[in-house]
Structures are given as C-alpha cells and as structure tokens.
Amino acid sequence: MVGAAMNYRHAFHAGSFADVHKHAVLARIVAHLRQKPTAFRVIDSHAGAGRYDLLADQATRGGEWRDGIGRIWHRPFGGSDAAADALLAPYIEAVADCNTGPSLRTYPGSPLIVRHLMRPQDRLIACEIEPRAAAQLAAALRGDARAKALVIDGWTAVGAYVPPQERRGLVFIDPPFEEAADFAHLAAIVSSAHRKWPTGIYLAWYPITTRAAPDALARRLRRLSVGKILRCELSVRAPAADAGLTGSGLVAINPPFPLEADLRLLMPALARRLGRAAAAPAPRIDWLAAER
C-alpha cells in the first residue's frame, strides 16, 4: 500500500481510527477558530460524499468503524483521561448531530463536521471530483447558504481558492493517496498555498504503513520556508510493509496556539482506546518547524 501507493477512499474507511484522529483534530481547530468573533472560511480540498451509512456495503466491507468511532461512541474516557472528553466533545457532537438517539448509523465526513461547528458568519467550500461522491456532497450541503459544494480536483482547488476573502481560516487537505507521488505533491501544494496565504491554517493528512514515505514528507516540509509546522501521528499497530494502514498522520501549519497542549492530552487517550497492539508506537507530537 503506502510507500508505493494506496487508496484511502472515504466511503470504505468511514469512521475508522484514522477518521477519528483526523476529524477530532479538525474539530479542535475549528473550535479554536470560533473563539474570535470575525468570520472564517474552511476550504475542504478532498471532501468526499459528506455523510456515510455505516451499515451500507462500502462501510461494512471492512467494518473499520467498529475499531474507530465505535470504540468511543457513548463511551467517555473518564478516570485519568477525563480531560480528553472535553477536548473530544466538538467532534462527538458533530457525529451525534447526524444520528438519532444513541444508535450509531451515520458518520459525517469532514464537511459536515465543519458545518456543524460553523457560525452564521462562517463559510465552507467543499470540493470533490468523483462524480457520485460529488453529487452526494451537493445533496448533503444543499439549503445551507454558508456552504458550497464544488466539483473540482482537490489539488487544483487549493491553488484556486487560496487566499479566501476572509482573513481567517483553514485549508483541510485529505487526499486518497492513490499515487506514490501524492506525498511529494502534498508538500509542494502546501508550500505554494502558504506563499499565497502565509497566515492561513493548513491541516494535511497522510497515511502510515511503513516509515519511508512519512519520513520523506517530514524532510520535505522541514526544508520549506514555513515557520510553524506541528506533526501529530497516531498508530494502532507497528508499521510493516504488509500490514496495511497502521497509522494516521497530520501536519498542522500555523496551528492555533492551544492545539499542541490539546493534542498532548487527547492523543494518549485515543491511543489507549483505539490501539490494537502492544507494539504500536506511542503517539508522536512534535514540531517540524517552530519559530523562535
């Protein structure tokens, strides 16, 4: 899979441990953006279908949600990890908004998580190129004047819509990694967007199977003229060439100041709940670049 290429199509992995990781961090960033009264815009480059039926064929084929959102749904951490519950609350509330009662049937993709957390003055651009997913995304966002679904390649969208009209905001980049070159492409796109909008927040996801591609991405990002890059990785098994997706990685450029402290509380709690092997690496939270 990765190291060469993989295909992280949202519908097949909805609610997986990687979704919990990326969407919990996404929700934390949007929650921090809401702390100031001025409007912000979120650009979701690879938005997917918007919502996913966890009992449909694509989601049940691997049943990954059972070892992801299924492990934390209506199961507070409590005890020594109780502080993590408050940090996870915006994400859990967004999932609950898509479901009726205690049953977990529907999982929201990133655009619906963002929309749930937006205020009347905030805006969302959600981009998807695959025709069926794009049609589902448009239906999921229809009727909300704050959100716009666009049929456009995600990589192209980052270049086209950065910088936004608003001075504040977030670009969320969550590609399927169908090509091995996507790791290099990610670094190049982030570099180009940052030059155009150096004050924007960027959150980019990458898969972990072996260490080769994620470590090469880190080296590329360190060479960029970017002042603040925070890395956060969550693994459920030790990386191995034949083990499939063993971990989930995020890089946050210009993260909100409290995010590092949030992650240092939240990630160990998630690792204890989601980890499936004693040999899984501990969560990694470090700075690839930090302004002095």
- 174 carries an active-site annotation: yes
275 φ, ψ (degrees, to nearest 5) = -65, 140
Q: How far is the CA of 202 from the CAs of 102, 124, 148, 279, in angstroms?
A: 33, 14, 19, 31
Residue 3's closest CA among 212, 244, 227, 228? Answer: 212
**Residue 16 identity (one-letter amino acid):** S
Q: Which residues pair with 202 in a beta bridge?
A: 171, 253
Scan for tokens 């990890």, then name that residue.
81
Residue 229: how many other CB atoms lie within 10 Å:
23
Q: For the chain, where are the E strands, in sequence order? A: 40-44, 51-53, 106-108, 123-127, 147-150, 168-173, 201-208, 229-235, 247-253, 284-289
Q: Which of 44, 174, 182, 262 is catalytic?
A: 174
What is the Cα–Cα distance from 292 to 288, expressed in whole angstroms? 13
SS3 288: strand
Confirm if 173 and 250 have CB atoms less than 8 A apart. no
Task: Please state, in angstroms and rounded to a whole number, the distance separating the CA atoms of residues 178 and 181.
Answer: 9
Q: How far apart are CA 142 and CA 130, in angstroms?
A: 18
User: Six-digit token pair at 50?
Assistant: 């918007």
- The answer to whether the beta carbons of residues 73 and 104 sit under 8 Å apart is yes
Which among 179, 225, 227, 184 has a CA at the least distance from the CA of 204? 184
Question: Which residues are annotated as catalytic?
Answer: 174
